[in-house]
Amino acid sequence: RLMDFFEKNPGVSLRIEPVNSIADLKTKDVDVAILWGVGEWKEYESRLLLRLPSVPTANATIAKEVRILGIEAAVKQVPLLGDSSGDTGWRAWHRAVGLPYLPSKSSLTIPDSNSRVQAVIDGQGIALWDRLVAPEIKSGQLVELTDRKLDTSGYYLVFTKDPHATQVQAMVDWLFAQTAI
């Protein structure tokens, strides 16, 4: 779809730079990033681009253990895998479902989403996922552990510079139009 953007915005140049975390924004020269999270980046302006509620997910072996323990006990005993924000998503999920945040002593932060999916498939713990892992759920590699979702999660535009600069605003407008399709 990028060709559509270029047709509508001749003369605008884009550079796509992989950014997995807010820390990456401090070391890369970007105007705007798209990050998954719950919108809790105090040092930057952010806008929700696409809401994707997330739910605790695990492989089939851990899912059986969760059915025996119950989700409330499982999230205290099984390692919770964090994303680039560490445990921000998990803290938000616990608040959303009315549980105290008392994770196991083991934790694992995996900023790269592909590596985190594989870690969950391999049985390293439980992670929060959205509908982007639907193929893995359909195939049985991953199992949703509860219907108690974190509704504030999704993809956010995070601005490092003036979000109203003409070229930045053109990209922002185009991205929001794409999410409406």
User: What's the confidence (pLDDT) of residue 86?
Assistant: 84
Look at residue 106 and give its three-state secondary structure.
coil
pLDDT digit string (tens) for 1-54?
A: 899 999 999 988 888 887 777 878 888 888 888 888 888 788 888 999 999 999
pLDDT digit string (tens) for 41-60?
A: 888 889 999 999 999 999 99
Looking at CATH, the fold of the domain delimited by 55-144 is given as D-Maltodextrin-Binding Protein; domain 2 (3.40.190)
Residue 144 confidence class, pLDDT cut points 50, 70, 90:
very high
pLDDT at 104 over 70: yes
pLDDT digit string (tens) for 106-129?
A: 789 998 889 999 999 999 999 999
DSSP code of residue 130: -
- Using CB atoms within 10 Å of the CB of residue 71, give its burial: 0 to 12 exposed, 13 to 18 middle, 19+ buried: middle
Structure token digits, residue 75: 């999230």
Q: Which of 61, 79, 76 has its CA nearest to residue 125?
A: 79
Alpha helices in 21-70 (DSSP H): 22-27, 60-69
Asked whether the whole model's pTM tops 0.85, one would answer no
pLDDT digit string (tens) for 61-84?
A: 999 999 999 999 999 999 999 988
User: What's the confidence (pLDDT) of residue 181?
Assistant: 66
Architecture of domain 2-51+154-179: 3-Layer(aba) Sandwich (3.40)
Structure token digits, residue 158: 């995070």
Domains 2-51+154-179 and 55-144 share a fold: yes
Integer Cα distance of 75 and 174 in angstroms? 39
**Please, what's the largest Cα pairwise distance for the chain?**
59
Domain locations in the chain? 2-51+154-179, 55-144
Burial string for 75-110 (b: 16+ CB within 10 Å, else e) reads beebbbbbbbbebbbbbbbbebeeeeeebeeeeeeb
List, in order, residues 6 or more apart from 34 with CB less than 8 Å away: 19, 49, 155, 156, 157, 158, 175
Span 140-156, mean pLDDT?
A: 94
